[in-house]
Structure 1
Amino acid sequence: MNIGVDIGGTNIRAGIELGGTITKQHKMLLENKDSLAATLSQLKDLIRPLTQYPIKGIGIGVPSVVDVSKGIVYNVMNIPSWEEVALRDIIENEFNIPVSINNDVNCFILGEHRFGLAKKYKSVVGMAIGTGLGSGIIINDQLYAGNNCGAGEIGMLPYRDSVLENYVCNRFFEDTLGMDANAAHQLANAGDSRMLAVWEEFGKHLAAVIKTVMYTYDPEAIVLGGSIAKAHQLFKKGMLENLKDFAYPESVKRLTLLLSEDDNIALLGAAALMHDIQ
Structure 2
Amino acid sequence: MQYCFGVDIGGTTVKMGLFRTEGTLVEKWEIKTRTENRGEAILPDVAASLKSKMEEKEIGHLQIAGIGIGIPAPVDDRGIVQNTANLGWGYKEVKREMGELTGLKVKAGNDANVAALGEMWLGAGKGQKNMIMVTLGTGVGGGVIVNGCPIVGENGAGGEIGHICVNYEEDETCGCGSRGCLEQYTSATGITRLARRRLEKNSSDTVLKKENLSAKAVFDALKEGDKAAEEIVEEFGTYLGHAMANMAAITDPAVIVIGGGVSKAGDILLKYVEKHFKERAFFANKETKFVLAELGNDAGICGAAKLIIG
Same fold (TM over 0.5): yes
Say which of 201, 208, 231 aligns to 2:265.
231
Say whether 1:175 aligns with 2:193: yes
Q: Is the 1:201–1:238 Cα contact (8 Å) retained in structure 2?
A: no
Whether 1:73 and 2:81 are equivalent positions in the alignment is yes
- Find the residue that maps to 1:136 and give its secondary structure: strand
Q: 1:122 to 1:130 in 2, by over 3 A?
A: same
Report the TM-score when normalising by structure 1. Answer: 0.85
Matches within 5 A, 1:26-175: 26-33=29-36, 35-52=38-55, 53=59, 54-69=63-78, 71-79=79-87, 81-160=88-167, 161=170, 162-175=180-193
The 2-side partners of 1:31 and 1:175 are apart by 33
User: Over alpha carbons, which structure has the higher Rg?
Assistant: 2
CA contact (8 A) 1:111 1:266 kept: yes
Q: 1:187 to 1:44 in 2, by over 3 A?
A: farther
Asked if 1 retains the 8 angstrom alpha-carbon contact of 2:76 and 2:153, the reply is: no
Tell me if structure 2 keeps the 8 A contact 1:59–1:273. yes
State whether residues 65 and 148 of structure 1, in contact with CA within 8 Å, keep that contact through their aligned partners in structure 2.
yes
Go from structure 1 to structure 2 and tell me whether the alpha carbon gap of 1:113 and 1:32 turns closer, same or farther (over 3 Å shift).
closer
Question: How many residue pairs were aligned?
Answer: 273
State which drifts further: 233-242 or 93-102.
233-242
Instruction: Identify if the C-alpha distance between structure 1 residues 92 and 182 changes in structure 2 by more than 3 Å, giving closer, same or farther.
Output: farther
Please give the secondary structure, in 2, of the residue aligned with 1:9.
coil
Letter in 2 for 1:93: E
RMSD (Å) for aligned C-alpha atoms? 2.6
Distance 1:208 1:78, change over 3 A: farther
Measure the CA separation in 2 of the matches of 1:28 and 1:210: 35
Percent identity of equivalent pairs: 29
Letter in 2 for 1:100: K
Shift of 1:121: 2.3
In structure 1, distance between residues paired with 2:222 and 2:31: 32
1:31 is displaced (CA, Å) by 4.3
Q: What SS class does the counterpart of residue 26 from structure 1 fall into? A: strand
**Cα pair 2:11 2:35 within 8 Å, conserved:** no
* Compared CA separation, residues 212 and 78, structure 1 to 2 (3 A): farther
**Given the alignment, which residue of 195, 210, 216 partners 2:250?**
216
Tell me the equivalent position of 1:243.
277
Q: Residue 240 of structure 1 aligns to a residue in which SS? A: helix
1:170–1:180 CA contact under 8 A, matched in 2: yes
Determine the C-alpha separation between the residues in 2 that align with 1:60 and 1:185: 34
CA 1:57 to 1:158, structure 2 compared with 1: closer, same or farther past 3 Å?
same
Q: Which amino acid aligns with 1:10?
A: T
- Report how far residue 34 of structure 1 moved: 5.8
Query: Which residue is equivalent to 2:288?
Result: 255
Structure 1 counterpart SS, 2:235 = helix
Instruction: Please give the per-residue CA displacement for 1:98-150, whole angstroms capped at 9, x wherever unaligned.
Output: 11101112212222233333233232222222122222222223333222222
Higher relative strand content: 1
C-alpha distance in structure 1 between counterparts of 2:118 and 2:271, whole Å: 28
Q: Could you tell which deviates more after superposition, 190-199 or 42-51? A: 190-199
The 1:95/1:222 distance shift into structure 2, 3 A limit, reads same
